[in-house]
Structure 1
């Protein structure tokens, strides 16, 4: 009897122990953190478990995952500029919460540059990554009243451009085509309106902007320098609203709201510019100039359930720029008028499947097209020159929350490229001859894996590996060259034709990514990062600032992909409860198969561009320093960058060398750049901003001497990019008048007054020499914005 009783007691203890163990089954607390009014996801919100002292931050979609045992937990949710929330949550099999944070309208200590957690710059593993919210971009003084996403990036360390009004940006010694620019995952091949004066992104619909210039995640690829990731805001889910603005350059209008409340929402916004009247006010030589653009951005979101979300984004933009008189020597046609007509079309459809608290799947289909047309109306010389690039992509990413120490991600991608370099169609009575360069087809396949591993409380490791494969597809005729001869027009030894659907050449390789963060004290960390990037599509132009009509070119057996290897080391420190931030990063980057051009290269209609292209090596290195004040009535930052970018084109033959095979500065090499931005906000209704920028002048090639031939003075050029234009400096100012956000009104209005180039400094864009048959006169400076530009913009929201 005692033995049976003893067995029963053991069984009861075993059952009790199993029940106790079952209560310790690890589940996950998941959820979304959104803005209480706009319903937009909040990036970088902190979720803190008060009892166990663990926590995390939300990602780009406002989503978070914390592995926890079953039970009841007190949690605190907070973010800079929002009222914190404290609640108790019961974690069971499927625990998903939706939290809406209310903006603290009495909070004046706002983040100037980023919308992340206060100390995320110290705690996050990545380095060389900066995020800007559109709220703070609006406070930066704008040229002609146009809030410009791309222009605001020029205030960050490591970001420059070749000059005012130039297309694109140069990041850490990279050319403009080495930047992957994504609009809700769709790549854009031209990011400017009006030949580079303004960017294509409508500030009314942009949620945030993230620039990856150092630690680039393996999910991104295809470019050798940086990734600019721009996200469109989520449409309003509760009620309909309309907004717009009136400015000197463009007028804006937008609408958003629920089609089916909390299920189906939409957003549509447009900008329209008609600037012809501005040129009619000028001299007769420019009165016939046209410079107009418009764009349309849309977004549709369907929340089928808590597990399934489908989002579609669309963008269309077009520019028409006509010069009253011009000569198109590049296409060997003289014309009394030239018109540039270029447009971008992009769209994405994204399906987010929340499988369970540990697994989240994103699948995206992407379409992007860029088309440029150059034309002349003269009947004798009438023509249309068209170029086109198409990008079709399907990709899928799976996020895996393994446990508290590991967060992994895997993904696949497939891209279909189509490039029509140039095709000229003459008018009915034109003397021009038709021609069409052969189209180019290729595919880019990629797979990647990434794991963020928390080694200890002080050390975290982000390791990733990407493999990309590039396949050239026919139809094409491949030109074969002898290694014993330089590549020049007419030196191809044979031609090999390939039919459509034939893969005739491949490139590929591994792209490792690595980042390590070590905390060395309260609010201080050291980070080390390395990444390799491969680029298979190139923008080729032998001008300093590439025009929208510049030619895109795919890698092939004669043009190798560019490969960049970058090593970065950074020190990050926050002080006085994250009121102040300081950082210093050094980087060294090597570029294999860097691209440059022969003297006098003509790329636009060249059927064999490899005869005008040169490939060699490049190196870029620099120091980036940033000090920022985040809180108080005065906020702002000061950044200094020292950087060098050197190219070496040292082929076997003298025709394939530049500067006798010695290193020379790239066109965008600017050793010193200083930026200072300050915002004074004494109340919720008024703010005043200043920004000052200084940079070393970019390199130029100037005559080394003069020669007189048949009584005509001819310049003699020896080395490339050995001189520089004068240094650049400029001061901007703006004032923003808003209504009190604490008072709810049906109509919200604001005014923005700005002055660009306050002291009217005539910064040189280029230096040129006036040609005279009798002499070679002294140099002249060309200034794009040689005076102060005031502007006034009115914004309204219903």
Structure 2
């Protein structure tokens, strides 16, 4: 009964579209076209009915629809790089086909960047969207042999990072927490292993990764910059396979196959890193270091019939990083053997109900938990500093195929947040006092509708409208500050207590989305877009590179949600039968309630973070250009990005201004970025890849002078982020040796040899200041990867 009410609610406003469609009795031939080996959807595949010469192309999910009267038909399925397949079909009822195409082993001219139709970059309405297939990601030279999805994104225009080994990535002037990272619809709050050296995604289970940095569909929300949508491949439904690899950093093992043929199939893959022995080979100061991680990814698919499909995706990861000795100055605790533990547990159950040829309903239950712990075992100062983010969500999405030129999507979502900012637990004989910060709780509700409409053969629209709101709930002690004085500890004008479940604050609003495509000529198009995004949860840290142990905070009565408005305009052109792609996009983005911090802010165990947080305006603008070659023995792309990001934090009070209220560059502002990657594949058994990257150094705050007080040198700082570290540049190289795919063997194997930072450039991660009387200087450069890093990886599949 509940399902029928939900369906009627989502369909109610669509009656004007659906009623005229009931006048026809024509059936529809529908289905999916996928790769035979991986189960990955094939976008842009041609579906051609030979009897009446009608045809169409599959969408990004491999789905197709062709209205046909009852009868027998011969249907041809084809795509460049795959063996053509022809099937005889009898159409006398609703028919859903699952078509699998095998790769053509003699084909060498493959798309390097995205697995889409050859001219989809010109024809699609949205802009600023790039899809990377895992096959092409694996050919990009990898650091220490670890195929890294997040690191591969840094070769795309508009994507940067504050430095090597830093967690997360920055997109079009946004901070790392402004990217919504989804693994089969599950949001992840940490995307890195070992404090940013490697990403958390096992390449053996990933089907593809899609980055939305410009045109963001109305179905997405909750972050202010981008959406990274990573899909897990479908489990093998015909036979059992075993695959894995052995590398210098980690080893991988995966298994997949059918439990019930064609109905129930499973996939499980793990990646384990045990690197303690490497530190034993180093100097004595590093021999007590531990740096280990593991992750486990599972997927179960159950399809009892053509109308119902149920999938479960599970993910678990954990990192352990231990230093032999250090000092935690922020806690005023001198300690040795500090240990950092952080882990993610997440899962999603998705039910896809293919109602009819026009309607498809997908309902998903999502659970994601991220925990961190910093601990010290010293008996007198022993403690455990803990934090946790818990995300529980239910969402339902309805797709309506009104006709060939008109598709509509609508849906609703409810998120339940529970955040433990910090909890300090002393050891059994410790002098440390316990501290427990109150848990933050809130609901985030959202509903959306989107209409994809081909107005004419040359003009297409994508109209979207999303509404979202955050409802903060108790138990909570709510503080109110007077606007007549700056926010400081102890200056709250009033404090009120709210009981469990009581809604004490709400914020929200509409988020319009618009994209327009105009085809100038065959192979040429101009696109324009606008979207608004609201972000209610932020990662607060006063370090340039946010650590995985940094705390998360919800918007509330004292911290407003971040609101981003972005306008973009682009020109796209393909030449030489889609062998060459040219694109140029310009964008302008404004931020409301952009976050920054007071000088000397201390956020760890801070019960009043609003007294150290500052909010103001932000603006980002830029130009992104790309030239890509898709066919031939040599393939690759070159991209250049010019981008700027500025913040303005002004206030009536001097204590709450930065740079006197004037605009200043954000920590991740990098005006110039040049990326080039090339792959040479003369045969099916060998490929060689190169990539080069250059970018302007990020901003830093340098002292304008120094003073000597009681014999101690003290730096004097005036303005924030007015200087820069040296520019960054690096060259990488890799070779892939594979078996001939035309020769079937029981065991398939490949070898990957890679060199990271070929010419051993010592790129600066940061510049810090400390007086050294032996050298009579204050400035020092820290380089994370200042040498050549070769690696060798063996991959296998049974």
Identify the residue that residue 17 of structure 2 maps to in structure 1.
Answer: none
Identify the residue that residue 743 of structure 2 maps to in structure 1.
Answer: 743
2 CA distance for matches of 1:396 and 1:32?
A: 21
Identify the residue that residue 533 of structure 1 maps to in structure 2.
Answer: 533
**Contact in 1 for aligned 2:367/2:391 (Cα 8 Å):** yes
**Contact in 2 for aligned 1:183/1:231 (Cα 8 Å):** yes
**Under a length normalisation based on structure 2, what TM-score does the superposition of the two structures give?**
0.95
2 CA distance for matches of 1:99 and 1:444?
A: 39
User: C-alpha deviations, 1:311-358, integer Å up to 9, x for none?
Assistant: 000000000000111111222211112100000001000001000110
Classify the secondary structure of the residue corresponding to 1:429: coil
Identify the residue that residue 392 of structure 1 maps to in structure 2.
Answer: 392
**Under a length normalisation based on structure 1, what TM-score does the superposition of the two structures give?**
0.95
Q: What is the root-mean-square deviation in Å for CA atoms of aligned residues?
A: 1.7
Offset of 1:49 from its aligned partner? Answer: 5.4
1:42 aligns with 2:9: no
**Contact in 1 for aligned 2:178/2:226 (Cα 8 Å):** yes
Identify the residue that residue 57 of structure 2 maps to in structure 1.
Answer: 56
Classify the secondary structure of the residue corresponding to 1:156: coil
Structure with greater Cα Rg: 1
User: C-alpha deviations, 1:257-284, integer Å up to 9, x for none?
Assistant: 0011111100000011011111111111
Identify the residue that residue 606 of structure 1 maps to in structure 2.
Answer: 606
Classify the secondary structure of the residue corresponding to 1:402: strand
Identify the residue that residue 448 of structure 1 maps to in structure 2.
Answer: 448
Higher alpha-carbon deviation: 485-494 or 132-141:
485-494
Identify the residue that residue 378 of structure 1 maps to in structure 2.
Answer: 378
Number of equivalent positions: 777
2 CA distance for matches of 1:79 and 1:550?
A: 47
CA separation of 1:88/1:460 partners in 2, compared to 1, >3 Å: closer, same or farther? farther
**Contact in 2 for aligned 1:28/1:358 (Cα 8 Å):** no
1 CA distance for matches of 2:754 and 2:739?
A: 18
1 CA distance for matches of 2:296 and 2:33?
A: 29
Identify the residue that residue 168 of structure 1 maps to in structure 2.
Answer: 168
Offset of 1:705 from its aligned partner? Answer: 1.2
Identify the residue that residue 105 of structure 2 maps to in structure 1.
Answer: 105
2 CA distance for matches of 1:712 and 1:38?
A: 64
**Contact in 1 for aligned 2:168/2:192 (Cα 8 Å):** yes
2 CA distance for matches of 1:498 and 1:80?
A: 62
For residues 223-622 of structure 1, the aligned pairs below 5 Å read 223-622=223-622
**Contact in 1 for aligned 2:33/2:58 (Cα 8 Å):** no
Higher alpha-carbon deviation: 63-72 or 377-386:
63-72
Identify the residue that residue 686 of structure 1 maps to in structure 2.
Answer: 686
**Contact in 2 for aligned 1:318/1:342 (Cα 8 Å):** yes
User: C-alpha deviations, 1:607-649, integer Å up to 9, x for none?
Assistant: 0100000000100000000110011100000011000010000
Classify the secondary structure of the residue corresponding to 2:83: coil
Identify the residue that residue 770 of structure 2 maps to in structure 1.
Answer: 770
CA separation of 1:536/1:22 partners in 2, compared to 1, >3 Å: closer, same or farther? closer
2 CA distance for matches of 1:160 and 1:54?
A: 41
CA separation of 1:516/1:277 partners in 2, compared to 1, >3 Å: closer, same or farther? same
Offset of 1:590 from its aligned partner? Answer: 0.3
1:636 aligns with 2:625: no
**Contact in 2 for aligned 1:770/1:776 (Cα 8 Å):** no
2 CA distance for matches of 1:262 and 1:58?
A: 23
CA separation of 1:49/1:697 partners in 2, compared to 1, >3 Å: closer, same or farther? farther
For residues 143-182 of structure 1, the aligned pairs below 5 Å read 143-182=143-182
2 CA distance for matches of 1:618 and 1:155?
A: 25
Offset of 1:92 from its aligned partner? Answer: 4.1
2 CA distance for matches of 1:23 and 1:423?
A: 63
**Contact in 2 for aligned 1:24/1:70 (Cα 8 Å):** no
Classify the secondary structure of the residue corresponding to 1:356: coil
For residues 628-667 of structure 1, the aligned pairs below 5 Å read 628-667=628-667
Offset of 1:68 from its aligned partner? Answer: 4.4
CA separation of 1:23/1:196 partners in 2, compared to 1, >3 Å: closer, same or farther? closer
Classify the secondary structure of the residue corresponding to 2:559: coil
Offset of 1:516 from its aligned partner? Answer: 0.6
User: C-alpha deviations, 1:553-583, integer Å up to 9, x for none?
Assistant: 0000000000000011111111111111110
Identify the residue that residue 5 of structure 1 maps to in structure 2.
Answer: none
2 CA distance for matches of 1:583 and 1:73?
A: 40
2 CA distance for matches of 1:773 and 1:790?
A: 37
**Contact in 2 for aligned 1:49/1:55 (Cα 8 Å):** no
2 CA distance for matches of 1:520 and 1:422?
A: 56
Offset of 1:470 from its aligned partner? Answer: 0.8
Identify the residue that residue 672 of structure 1 maps to in structure 2.
Answer: 672
**Contact in 2 for aligned 1:258/1:265 (Cα 8 Å):** yes
Alignment gaps of 5+ in structure 2: 1-20
**Contact in 1 for aligned 2:426/2:434 (Cα 8 Å):** yes
